[in-house]
């Protein structure tokens, strides 16, 4: 008996039917839509960078970086602000990184999995979403007033550190989770303690991921305005241009983000290029630190062998 | 002489009872196999011998295990000391992501054993038949080795600590037939010096390597005896059915 749907010998069995043609058109539309989304998201990024540098071009020079502002901040450079930002981010990093890593290691390697550690984990993630202005207010109350640090680099960087702790804890936890459980089992079965396992096996393999968290933190803190404005940054402070050790931890300081805000909104008759030049320096600082951390991360990853 | 004596051991994962009143004696310096269908509790039993099963907070244990006469659930038992003398090899080879040399030296380093590390590493690698192949690349990453070599390394890693008992949880299930035979041959040699307990889903393997055999079902030991006897002349009909391949 002949099969019902047997093709006639002359039919082109692999020709495109109308239904297939419709699906092919669908595919083309989908591809263009998705690609369009990508272009739409990349375009503003490059537009911003290009526009900033274009506008800032007349002012960008080595001297702009290492001189102090002059003429009521309408001329000169931004050294005090650049140095202030470096101090703030550096001190915040120094405070938040060890504490955050310790907390994450405890949560992931020591705490019994259960309701308590789930609640703590959830709290950490939610803390990361608290607006920075709230952290600013907390820093003002806790560090400036209560701890008696006054408005200072120390108070401001501690505020930044508190703000970035959840980010560091969350990303470190992710990094620790990415280390295969079988490594821990192997180590425990040889009679290693939790600490030996953590120190010799888990942490070395989690390092690249931990660095990612720190990169995120640097990017976020360097641009923060409100927390440092409340707790230690000032509109203007005169220090020697190019001097790396011009600030003490209990001094007030200038910061790039606050400087940009001030120059753009509080000072009349500034040259058009000035705010853009400050923005370029801010972006370059963040990208520079990121590049450094990424290089370190790539190096650490290259030594990883699983 | 017995190296492990289990008496009235029951184990629960939360509400599920995985071991039911198990009492067995395992003899020293020979290979003992635990066989049975999936979920019969053979791996669970193996994992209580160095108390690694207690990593899971939901696990609850009752009963007693004595190793060379000493109760391992006693209050003054240090898990670190216990695991040093009762080592385990897993289903998937799990070398640590460090060099071959450091894998073998790891145990000595964490236990701060005062011994010549180089000599101990050479001795351990020789014992598992890796020394000749690897002596010139000891500092290569262990994860680059072939699977069979990795599993040999995981066995070698235990030896510098001078364990009394080596537990193996389906150590050949990730290996091909040739590598499986090679590992079995290695276990046969090690049995002269160490007491070996192996969990396997392969009856053929149990028959090839072990002197004594335990057949488990639903958390209970159904039958045990010399391997040849258990395979040729099982006393319990369930053992006979499993061995004949009628279930499992």
The terminus-to-terminus CA distance of chain A in angstroms comes to 60
Using DSSP's 3-state secondary structure scheme, residue A131 falls into coil
Q: Which two tokens stand for residue B42?
A: 């053979």
Identify all chain B residues contacting A306, using CB atoms and an 8 Å cutoff.
97, 143
**pLDDT of residue A168 exceeding 80:** yes
**pLDDT of residue A227 exceeding 80:** yes
The pLDDT value recorded for residue B2 is 83
Q: Whole-number mean pLDDT of chain B?
A: 92
Instruction: Point out the residue among B87, B92, B144 whose CB comes nearest to the CB of A190.
Output: B87
Residues 6+ apart with CB under 8 A from B14: B58
Q: What gap in Å lies between CA B67 and CA B225, rounded to an integer?
A: 20
Q: Is the Cβ–Cβ distance between A202 and A179 less than 8 Å?
A: yes
Instruction: Point out the residue among A186, A191, A200 whose CB comes nearest to the CB of B94.
Output: A186
Using DSSP's 3-state secondary structure scheme, residue A51 falls into helix
**pLDDT of residue B1 exceeding 60:** yes
DSSP state, residue A72:
T
**pLDDT of residue A103 exceeding 80:** yes
Beta bridge partners of B215: B35, B223
Residue whose token pair is 């960008």:
A60
- CA-based nearest distance B2→chain A, Å: 23
Q: Which two tokens stand for residue A105?
A: 């290691």
**pLDDT of residue A191 exceeding 70:** yes
Q: Is the Cβ–Cβ distance between B58 and B47 less than 8 Å?
A: no
**pLDDT of residue A10 exceeding 70:** no
The pLDDT value recorded for residue A242 is 74
Q: What is the CA radius of gyration of chain B?
A: 18
Q: What gap in Å lies between CA B199 and CA B214, rounded to an integer?
A: 10
The pLDDT value recorded for residue B93 is 93
pLDDT in tens, B86-145: 999 999 999 999 999 999 999 999 998 888 899 999 999 999 999 999 999 999 999 999
A299 vs A137, higher pLDDT: A137
A22 vs A75, higher pLDDT: A22
**pLDDT of residue A292 exceeding 60:** yes
Q: List alpha helices for B33-191, DSSP H.
A: 42-48, 79-85, 100-110, 117-127, 131-134, 147-156, 177-190
Closest CA to B171 of B201, B212, B144: B201
Residues 6+ apart with CB under 8 A from A216: A167, A171
pLDDT in tens, A76-89: 888 888 999 999 99
pLDDT in tens, A205-214: 998 889 888 8
**pLDDT of residue A1 exceeding 60:** no
Interchain proximity A189–B88, CB inside 8 Å? yes
Judge residue A50's burial from the number of C-beta atoms within 10 Å of its C-beta, 0-12 exposed, 13-18 middle, 19 or more buried: exposed
Q: How many CB atoms lie within 10 A of CB A115?
A: 8
Domains and CATH numbers, chain B: 2-243 (3.40.50.300)
A98 vs A301, higher pLDDT: A98
Q: Whole-number mean pLDDT of chain A?
A: 88
**CA-based max dimension of chain A:** 101
B248 vs A109, higher pLDDT: A109
**pLDDT of residue A7 exceeding 60:** no
The pLDDT value recorded for residue B72 is 94
Q: Is the Cβ–Cβ distance between B105 and B160 less than 8 Å?
A: yes
Q: What angle do CA A286, A287, A289 make, to 5 degrees?
A: 65
Identify all chain A residues contacting B90, using CB atoms and an 8 Å cutoff.
182, 185-186
Task: With cut-offs at 50, 70 and 90, classify the pLDDT of residue A2.
Answer: low
In a mutational test of the A interface, the residue from B79, B94, B103 whose CB has the highest number of chain A CBs within 10 Å is B94
The pLDDT value recorded for residue B131 is 94
* Mean pLDDT across A21-25: 94
H or E stretch covering B222? strand B220-226
Residues above pLDDT 70, as percent of chain A: 95
* Mean pLDDT across A138-166: 92
Q: How many CB atoms lie within 10 A of CB B98?
A: 20
The pLDDT value recorded for residue B6 is 95
The pLDDT value recorded for residue A124 is 87
Q: Is the Cβ–Cβ distance between B134 and B180 less than 8 Å?
A: no
- CA-based nearest distance A198→chain B, Å: 12
**pLDDT of residue A304 exceeding 80:** no
Interchain proximity A191–B143, CB inside 8 Å? no
**pLDDT of residue B226 exceeding 90:** yes
- pTM attached to this predicted model: 0.81
Q: What gap in Å lies between CA B43 and CA B239, rounded to an integer?
A: 18
Task: With cut-offs at 50, 70 and 90, classify the pLDDT of residue A27.
Answer: very high
H or E stretch covering A156? helix A153-177
* Mean pLDDT across B172-201: 92
Interchain proximity B111–A191, CB inside 8 Å? yes
**pLDDT of residue A43 exceeding 90:** yes
Domains and CATH numbers, chain A: 84-302 (1.10.3720.10)
Closest CA to A110 of A211, A184, A171: A184
Interchain proximity A188–B57, CB inside 8 Å? no
pLDDT in tens, B164-176: 999 999 999 988 9
């Amino acid at each position: 008996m002949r099969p019902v749907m047997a093709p006639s010998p002359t039919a082109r069995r692999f020709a495109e039917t109308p239904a297939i043609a419709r699906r092919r058109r669908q595919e083309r539309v989908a591809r263009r839509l998705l690609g369009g989304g990508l272009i739409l998201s990349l375009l503003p990024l490059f537009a911003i960078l290009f526009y900033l540098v274009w506008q800032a071009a007349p002012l960008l020079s080595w001297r702009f970086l290492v001189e102090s502002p002059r003429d009521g901040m309408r001329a000169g450079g931004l050294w005090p602000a650049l140095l202030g930002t470096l101090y703030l981010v550096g001190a915040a990093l120094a405070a938040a990184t060890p504490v955050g890593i310790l907390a994450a290691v405890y949560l992931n390697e020591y705490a019994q999995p259960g309701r308590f550690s789930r609640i703590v984990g959830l709290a950490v993630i939610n803390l990361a979403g608290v607006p920075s202005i709230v952290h600013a207010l907390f820093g003002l109350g806790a560090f400036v007033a209560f701890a008696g640090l006054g408005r200072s680099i120390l108070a401001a960087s501690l505020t930044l550190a508190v703000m970035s702790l959840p980010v560091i804890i969350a990303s470190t936890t992710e990094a620790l989770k990415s280390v295969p459980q079988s490594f821990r089992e192997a180590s425990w079965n040889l009679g290693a303690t939790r600490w030996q396992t953590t120190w010799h096996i888990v942490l070395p393999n989690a390092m690249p991921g931990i660095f990612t968290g720190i990169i995120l933190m640097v990017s976020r803190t360097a641009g923060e305005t409100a927390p440092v404005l409340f707790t230690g940054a000032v509109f203007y402070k005169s220090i020697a241009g190019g001097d790396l050790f011009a600030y003490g931890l209990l001094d007030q300081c200038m910061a790039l983000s606050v400087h940009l805000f001030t120059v753009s909104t509080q000072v009349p008759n500034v040259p058009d290029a000035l705010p853009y030049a400050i923005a370029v320096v801010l972006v370059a600082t963040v990208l520079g630190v990121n590049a450094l951390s990424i290089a370190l991360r790539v190096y650490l990853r290259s030594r990883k062998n699983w | 002489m017995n190296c492990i004596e289990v008496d009235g051991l029951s184990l629960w994962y939360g509400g599920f009872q995985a071991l039911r009143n198990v009492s067995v004696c395992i003899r020293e310096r020979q290979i003992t196999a635990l066989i049975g269908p999936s979920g019969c509790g053979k791996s669970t039993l193996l994992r209580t011998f160095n108390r690694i099963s207690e990593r899971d907070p939901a696990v609850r244990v009752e009963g007693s295990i004595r190793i060379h006469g000493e109760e391992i659930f006693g209050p003054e038992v240090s898990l670190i000391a216990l695991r040093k003398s009762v080592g385990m090899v897993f289903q998937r080879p799990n070398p640590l992501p460090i060099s071959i040399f450091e894998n073998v030296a790891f145990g000595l380093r964490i236990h701060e054993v005062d011994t010549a590390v180089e000599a101990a590493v050479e001795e351990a690698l020789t014992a598992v038949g890796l020394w000749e192949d690897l002596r010139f690349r000891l500092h290569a990453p262990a994860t680059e080795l072939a699977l069979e070599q990795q599993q040999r390394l995981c066995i070698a890693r235990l030896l510098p600590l001078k364990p009394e008992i080596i537990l193996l949880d389906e150590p050949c299930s990730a290996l091909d037939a040739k590598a499986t035979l090679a590992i079995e041959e290695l276990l046969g040699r090690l049995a002269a010096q160490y007491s070996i307990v192996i969990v396997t889903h392969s009856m053929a393997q149990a028959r090839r390597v072990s002197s004594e055999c335990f057949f488990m079902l639903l958390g209970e030991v159904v039958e045990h005896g010399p391997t040849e006897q258990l395979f040729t002349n099982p006393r319990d009909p369930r053992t006979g059915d499993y061995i004949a391949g009628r279930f499992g």
